[in-house]
């Protein structure tokens, strides 16, 4: 049985791609310099024997484990692993911290336990206002790590703590998320080449 569509799917399809293409173009123009800085920070961390930590909520949490896996396992080629970890995958740690210390401390607690001076912490938040991501970045700075971020909209409160901070110039969460994974994968590819692993 065919169910009648309530929208013109051709118009919807084209409009979504048009918006995506516009955000891709704006992101490409806006983020080249902070991306260069991020790659430099990542290379410095890995060459110094340190690691990259990713953390975020919801779809951003999925991006964190996706990117950490690209680095530890492989991105484009079989090569030595790049040390990275997503702070979003340990359900025991997440639920224990949420229960004992509150959701806002979720990443700060793990950052305090796992971060060493010279590490690179990357917090991901489409709004830039996720309290637990902001606290995680603040704790990273206290631990002597570089606190970087991926954001969107106007950058939110993360712009006070994240440097480099890659803010996608869009108000649409889906488009911001699309650019975050694109930027993250560009980071993986650049790291493979900058570290001489390809």
pLDDT of residue 18: 98
Measured CA to CA, the distance from residue 172 to residue 166 in angstroms comes to 16
Q: How does pLDDT run across 69-108, given as a tens digit for each residue?
A: 999 999 998 999 999 999 999 999 999 999 999 999 999 9
Angstrom distance (rounded) from CA 104 to CA 106 = 6
pLDDT value of position 5: 74
CA dist., res. 26 & res. 87, Å (int): 30
Domains of the chain: 32-194 (3.40.50.10490)
CA separation for the pair 184, 52 (Å, rounded): 12
Q: Is the pLDDT assigned to residue 15 strictly greater than 70?
A: yes
pLDDT of residue 7: 85
Q: Which residues contact 46 (CB under 8 A, 6 or more apart)?
A: 52, 82, 83, 191, 195
Pairwise CA distance, residues 10 & 16, whole Å:
10
Give the pLDDT score at 2: 67
- Cα Rg of the chain (Å, integer): 18
pLDDT at 1: 59
Average pLDDT over residues 173-181: 98
Q: In the chain, pLDDT over 90 holds for what percent of residues? A: 95
Question: Stretch 174-194: mean pLDDT, rounded?
Answer: 97
| 37-79 per-position pLDDT tens digit | 999 999 999 999 999 999 999 999 999 999 999 999 999 989 9
Q: What is the C-alpha separation between 44 and 41, in angstroms, rounded?
A: 5
Q: What is the pLDDT of residues 144-175, one digit of tens each?
A: 999 999 999 999 999 999 999 999 999 999 99
């Amino acid at each position: 049985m065919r169910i009648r569509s309530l929208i013109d799917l051709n118009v919807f399809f084209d409009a979504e791609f048009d918006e995506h293409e516009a955000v891709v173009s704006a992101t490409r123009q806006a983020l080249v310099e902070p991306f260069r800085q991020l790659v430099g920070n990542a290379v410095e961390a890995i060459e110094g024997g340190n690691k990259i930590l990713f953390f975020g909520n919801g779809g951003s949490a999925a991006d964190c484990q996706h990117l950490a896996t690209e680095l530890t396992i492989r991105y484009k080629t079989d090569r030595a692993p790049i040390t990275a970890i997503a702070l979003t995958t340990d359900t025991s740690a997440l639920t224990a911290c949420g229960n004992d210390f509150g959701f806002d401390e979720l990443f700060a607690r793990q950052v305090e336990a796992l971060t060493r001076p010279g590490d690179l912490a990357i917090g991901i938040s489409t709004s830039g206002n996720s309290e637990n991501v902001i606290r995680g970045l603040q704790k990273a700075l206290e631990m002597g790590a570089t606190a970087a971020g991926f954001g969107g909209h106007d950058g939110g409160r993360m712009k006070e703590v994240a440097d480099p901070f890659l803010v996608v110039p869009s108000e649409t969460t889906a488009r911001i998320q699309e650019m975050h994974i694109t930027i993250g994968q560009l980071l993986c590819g650049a790291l493979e080449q900058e570290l001489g692993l390809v």
